[in-house]
Chains A and B, each alone.
Chain A
Amino acid sequence: MRAPPALSASAPRNGSRDSVSGALRRSASSSSTAAAAAEMSASSAFIDEKGGSASEPEYGHDPASGGIFSTDYKRHDDLKEMLDSNKDSLKLEAMKRIVAMIARGKNASDLFPAVVKNVACKNIEVKKLVYVYLVRYAEEQQDLALLSISTFQRGLKDPNQLIRASALRVLSSIRVTIIVPIMMLAIKEAASDMSPYVRKTAAHAIPKLHSLDPEQKDQLIEVIEKLLADKTTLVAGSVVMAFEEVCPDRIDLIHKNYRKLCNLLIDVEEWGQVVIINMLTRYARTQFLNPNINESLLEESSEKAFYASDDEEDEDKKAEAATLAKRKPYVMDPDHRLLLRNTKPLLQSRNAAVVMAVAQLYFHLAPKAEVGIIAKALVRLMRSHSEVQYVVLQNVATMTIKRRGMFEPYLKSFYIRSTDPTQIKILKLEVLTNLANETNISTILREFQTYIKSMDKDFVAASIQAIGRCATNIGEVRDTCLNGLVQLLSNRDELVVAESVVVIKKLLQMQPEQHSDIIKHMAKLIDNIQVPMARASILWLIGEYCEHVPKIAPDVLRNMAKTFTNEEDIVKLQIINLAAKLYLTNSKQTKLLTQYVLNLAKYDQNYDIRDRARFIRQLIVPTDKSGALSKYAKKLFLALKPAPVLQSTFKDRDHFQLGSLSHLLNAKAAGYQELPDWPESVPDPSVRNVEIPDWSKCTSRKDRKEKKTEKPFYSDSEGESGPTESADSESDSGSGSESASASDESGSGSESEESREETESEDEEEDEEKEKKRKKRLDKTKAKKPAEESAESEQSSGTEDRKRGRKAVKNQKSASESESESESSESEDESEEESEEESESDTDIRKKKTPISKQPPKQSKKESKKERQEMSLLDLDDFEPAPASAPVTPVNFLSSSLVSDLEGLSLTNNILAPTTIAPSGSIKMYELLHRITVHQQHQLRDQKPAHRGAQAAVWDEDPRVHRDRRVSSR
């Protein structure tokens, strides 16, 4: 369709259309020529019309056209004729020209009847362009638009899903009220269409219908409810969009779909992700508890320390966690965790809007310790287009006020380049200022020093203000900053000087006593500075601290009295102010001057100034009528004034949802949904339970969970094994739904296993559910026992030893676990176990394996194969099957007493150990194993289906799954 440039350029400006279409009429016999001509004029028409609008009168010179209006009508006649022709190419040409007109904002509405007839044209491009036209003008030509409806209704029944979708799309885009019932019907039908694409289109149509006729809201909500239950990623984004537009307050519709949305999120298209994340942020605010509820009680100081350095971080975290545990137990709802976990990968999205959406979600919902992860992604966005930078910096500025530590490591990313646009520079300054603290202030000030030499004066002014803010916030550098600013007073640029004066004024207010020389210096400047704000500031300073400059002050007033009439209003007000203050402190020298000034002010043009003069005169000049107030005049004028607080304009902006338009404008935009406050008490979490778990990958997830039994804490600390979460939440929310799904293939067995896992993983923070816990511990010790036994027979390090001892104690306790055991010590204990396991896992587990795989040949009759399987699965997290066991030679001559002796020696030579000691260990262990399996059998029986499920898992990222699968199939 693009005509060769030469052609379009050479096409005559006026009348080309007429001549071309005229030619078309004449040579209509040869279709190819016509098409060629059409091609040319499609583009030339546009240029022509463009030119035409600028040079309308030229038409008059064209002999072929009678005048502007007639040309206009004639032009459209041509188009009508072309649209009526039988040739698709002519129709296409006409439509292209019409679309070009629309694009330029020209009115083409009078062609409506001619265009609408072509709605059923077979040529796809003509049809599409007719749709474009229709959607544009249907609103204005409602009755005629109805002519097209039947075509779309027919399209809705087409066997091809794409045609159905496209028909619905256009039908719903025609803003004609009369067809509301038709649209409603079409949407309802499409919402249960087989094709997800059509259902997506239905979701898109909902807001259109709603804006056309809000009375349909209730019916539309029904459709939304239905579509929310849809399981395809294609629909999810669109329907949440519809939800947000039609009924954003119907949070209850989300409950049942919450987990599904979380799980689908990563596969939804980018734009849908943004909408879903924003909606879920709001949802979470109503349904979960504030994860920082305890931390908010602790002071900000702890936050500083927390982020102080990486080394301290962990310790702090532990300490904090410990104190928190004592204070008040907070348990994060597993669904809350699920949301955080499933949104985290989206920080890696290429789409800045998605990254921002996740960032705001974390900012508003995550525990303080986890918010930090968003900083890196936001800093990455700063490489993007300047508009993106602008929005991101606004949000970062707000975040830095609340969570400064988060961005401190990225301080240098906010350094300003001379090529940045001014608005970006100023925002970066804001962030740098917010990030300034005692440790980095010297680097920041050095950076600021280069900024004030910039050529961009607005930016220089902002830099000076930033220096002022740093100086007020950080006492240590106040004098340095002040000195630097005083030096700027001799700058050649007046704006720089003026800005410095204003900032110095504010700084001096904090400690005026020490700086009378600066005040003197500034008094001298008044002759040179012309910027009103700066002059006013100097005058105020002199007046306020006239006692520090008793000799200069009256002289300044004298000078100002001379120029009073020519000053700006703010300066005049300050002159009056200065006069009044001097009159009160030094009336001898200034009485006449003051009266002179007040007289000048009395006849000023500005009534504010007249008023002020009158007011002040009454107040300070004692007359017989003067009331009680004048006695207190001195107190009134020379009261100690609090120093101004220089604070960021971004303070408290976080009450708007970050990333929103309202936040950016710092004003509530139309349609903004407030971010609700956290609820005081937990809303019922069971509302999110779904009868039949429908996420497709559940088997693999559950399976994986089981593998993790051995290392329960990792799931919590790693915080990124997303899929496990869905299962977690289920077990937590009670047994009702689980029993419902008991008959499921991956049924209750795995569920119960999960519930155990769940408690384990949350153990560190959780103090309740003791019963579950005990059960878990029981399991754990059982599971551990074989490992212990085998390990006991090995050399082990001192720490391991100690731990094992403790475990053994617990072991004995386990049957009658005393409730009084202190929780904190327990969790500590467990975390140690965790680390122990970690260190052991590589070497020990392989050894542990040895005895088990050795066992069967000896006493296989007693053991059922199944039991061994279960054992190994529970017990061995990370072992290699056959090869590891091969080199072990059974050496039985070492007595068990020797073994324990050796153990006491705590040799670390692990290589030697297995060959010499393992066999005896294995005997011991064998007995144990037997015992345990009896205990566990009834529990483990239920797990079997899950193992089967493991084999179905294909796309699991965890390599352990594969290994375990091999084991379980043995």
Chain B
Amino acid sequence: MPNHPVPVPSSVLAALKNKTIHLSAAKMIHSLFLVNASGDIFLEKHWKSVVSRSVCDYFFEALERATEPENVPPVIPTPHHYLINVLRHRIYFVAVIQSEVPPLFVIEFLHRVVDTFQDYFGVCTEAAIKDNVVVVYELLEEMLDNGFPLATESNILKELIKPPTILRTVVNTITGSTNVGEQLPTGQLSVVPWRRTGVKYTNNEAYFDVIEEIDAIIDKSGSTITAEIQGVIDACVKLTGMPDLTLSFMNPRLLDDVSFHPCVRFKRWEAERILSFIPPDGNFRLLSYHVSSQNLVAIPVYVKHNISFREGSSQGRFELTLGPKQTMGKAVESVLVSSQLPRGVLNANLNPSQGTYTFDPVTKLLSWDVGKINPQKLPSLKGSMSLQAGASKPDENPTINIQFKIQQLAISGLKVNRLDMYGEKYKPFKGIKYMTKAGKFQVRT
């Protein structure tokens, strides 16, 4: 094949120079800038005509105005463009658009980009993006065409661009091969666009993790103001060929509101309350659900607290005790307590009965890594806080945020009944794991 394409007659070139380029209002995403925590643009990508990076000045203005990093408005209008940004992993992903487009469309897409980076590089940090700048660029090129999303399914992208692994880097250096898939992607063309074709495994396995999170607000007296359970089923499916799976629950009625991965057949769910799907290859979120609010939510931990400041004294008292409650006999693990103490607090001198605590005098953030709660010997954190001398007692009360995990328990009582596979001959290994975690679990004091 000749390397030099046919030259174009000079008359054509002359005609070309005289023509001006029209720019009509073009929709969707124009450009993307990645901005790090210190306000530097470290990557830019344009899908249409280049937008000068000076457009980000408006973003920096907003950034300056915001008291907290997460208080930057997600949509910032500028005279000629609109900036829509999301903050993930301390990186701002700033998309530039020029005209009307649903903001959630852009936001959702940007989050999908971050998820993809995370999927590819394990982490989504500035360093990881810089190390893999070419892959990042190739991904962004595939994900959007002219600013409109093209391939956002991780399975398709992985067919197009292989994720970097240490092994592959070594192989590439030796053989000089590339990350770009040699075969052309076929997934996009199939009826199940989320699944790679020609998947092969020697060990066929399918794992499902039922993870529930409790969101709760507990008031001063210990009574529950609001509590709800949100759950997800994350799957890791490594099955050969085109397996067709059905997953059924013992008590599907518990699921009040659900949202599915696109692979789930909605009609089967409507009719039979069965999840029927051809899974994507690898890790994916099959289902997120909300447990109907009629059911009373079991609160697995309780907190006894006494945080008080006396008028005129520069000392405050701090007492905190945790205990298990309604845990169905399971252990509460990985407990982490954090609280934003009032600005007037200079330091905290506390004594934990177990675990370790830290207090940051600058951010006033107290965090206590408790570990496992032993019902026989309840963990407690007691001591005093020193306040600014002469300052009046703070009138705001800190909120206590709690994180915990309970293994082998879905707090709502949801149980998977069975998992069946059709369409393939082999017997897969199946596993289901349950876990309960604290979501946004807050205790007001």
Which residues of A pack against B, CB within 8 Å?
1-5, 8, 31-32, 35-36, 39, 42-43, 46-47, 50, 88-89, 92, 96, 99-100, 102-105, 117-125, 128-129, 131-132, 136, 139, 142-143, 146-151, 160-163, 169, 172-173, 175-178, 195-197, 201, 204-205, 207-208, 210-214, 234, 238, 241, 244-245, 266, 269-271, 274, 278, 345, 348-353, 355-357, 376-377, 379-380, 383, 385-388, 390-392, 412-413, 415, 417-419, 421-423, 447, 450, 453-455, 458, 491-493, 659-662, 664-665, 667, 669-673, 720, 955, 957-959
Contacts and interface: CB of A to CB of B under 8 A. Distances in A.
A161 B189 contact: yes
A355 B105 CA distance: 10
Contacts of A149: 5, 8
A103 B44 contact: yes
B9 to A, nearest CB: 10
B82 interface: yes
B12 A146 contact: yes
Contacts of A357: 102
Interface in B80-132: 82, 85-88, 97-105, 107-109, 111, 130-132
A813 to B, nearest CB: 38
Interface magnitude class on chain B: 35 or more
Given A132-B137, A453-B396, A377 B100 contact: no
Interface in B252-279: 256-262, 266-268, 270-272
Contacts of A352: 104, 107-108
Contact of B133 (A39, A103, A146, A669): A103
Given A99-B134, A197-B188, A175 B271 contact: no
| Most A-side CB within 10 Å, residue of B74, B169, B175 | B74
B42 interface: yes
B178 interface: yes
26 contacts: A1-B135, A2-B164, A5-B131, A39-B172, A99-B134, A103-B43, A118-B3, A142-B17, A176-B16, A177-B16, A178-B19, A211-B23, A234-B189, A350-B288, A353-B108, A353-B109, A376-B290, A380-B290, A388-B108, A415-B217, A417-B217, A422-B67, A423-B73, A661-B101, A669-B100, A720-B270
Contact of A1 (B49, B88, B172, B397): B172
Interface in B389-432: 392, 395-399, 401
Interface centre among A99, A105, A139 (most CB of B within 10 A): A105
B12 A103 contact: no
Most chain A beta-carbon neighbours within 10 Å: one of B5, B257, B270, B399: B5
A50 B141 contact: no
Interface of B: 1-8, 12-13, 15-17, 19-28, 41-46, 48-50, 53, 67-68, 70-71, 73-75, 77, 82, 85-88, 97-105, 107-109, 111, 130-138, 141, 145-146, 148-150, 152, 164, 166, 169, 172-176, 178-182, 184-185, 188-189, 193, 215, 217, 219, 225-226, 228, 230, 256-262, 266-268, 270-272, 285, 288, 290, 340, 342-343, 392, 395-399, 401, 440, 442, 444
A124 B182 contact: yes
Given A103-B136, A132-B137, A350-B285, A142 B16 contact: yes
Summarize B's interface: helix, strand, loop or mixed.
Answer: mixed
Nearest to B9: A146
Nearest to B284: A350
A178 B12 contact: yes
A919 B65 CA distance: 86
A628 to B, nearest CB: 49
B103 A391 contact: yes
A269 B105 CA distance: 13
A179 to B, nearest CB: 9
A186 B335 CA distance: 62
Contacts of B86: 385, 387
A916 B401 CA distance: 70
Contacts of B135: 1
A172 B395 CA distance: 63
A455 B342 contact: yes
Contact of B1 (A32, A120, A204): A120
Contacts of A117: 3-4
A147 B17 contact: no
A274 B102 contact: yes
B53 A105 contact: yes
B134 A1 contact: yes
B184 A670 contact: no
A99 B266 contact: no
A415 B257 CA distance: 19
Given A105-B44, A169-B145, A386-B70, A659 B102 contact: yes
Nearest to A380: B257
B152 to A, nearest CB: 7
B99 A670 contact: yes
Contacts of B342: 455
A18 to B, nearest CB: 20
Contact of B148 (A271, A377, A379, A667): A271
Contacts of B44: 103-105
A661 B75 contact: yes
B180 A387 contact: no
A190 to B, nearest CB: 14
Given A129-B137, A163-B184, 10 more contacts: A1-B164, A42-B134, A120-B5, A129-B138, A139-B50, A147-B4, A149-B8, A665-B77, A665-B82, A669-B99
Contacts of B28: 241
Nearest to B164: A2
B367 to A, nearest CB: 13
A858 to B, nearest CB: 38
Contact of A419 (B25, B258, B440): B440
Given A385-B111, A455-B342, A670 B267 contact: no
A352 B256 CA distance: 18
A348 B259 contact: yes
Contacts of B148: 204, 207, 238, 241, 271
B107 A391 contact: yes
B74 A387 contact: yes
A123 B16 CA distance: 31
A861 to B, nearest CB: 42
Nearest to A8: B131
B345 to A, nearest CB: 11
B131 A662 contact: no
A96 B134 contact: yes
A132 B141 contact: yes
Contact of B15 (A178, A197, A212, A350): A178
B74 A390 contact: yes
Contact of B145 (A142, A204, A415, A453): A204
Q: Which of A205, A349, A412, A669 has the most CB of B within 10 A?
A: A669
Most chain A CB inside 10 Å of its own CB: which residue of B182, B188, B271, B340 = B188
A32 B82 contact: no
B123 to A, nearest CB: 12
B442 A419 contact: yes
B131 A43 contact: yes
B131 A388 contact: no
Nearest to B289: A380
A506 to B, nearest CB: 24
Contact of B105 (A31, A175, A274): A274
Given A387-B74, A390-B74, A664 B340 contact: no
B187 to A, nearest CB: 11
Nearest to B287: A350
A120 to B, nearest CB: 5
Nearest to A5: B131
Nearest to B269: A348
Contacts of B107: 352-353, 385, 387-388, 391
Contacts of B193: 269
A238 B150 CA distance: 9
B341 to A, nearest CB: 9
Contact of A175 (B21, B225, B262): B21
Contacts of A148: 5
Given A88-B176, A212-B21, A959-B271, A350 B260 contact: yes
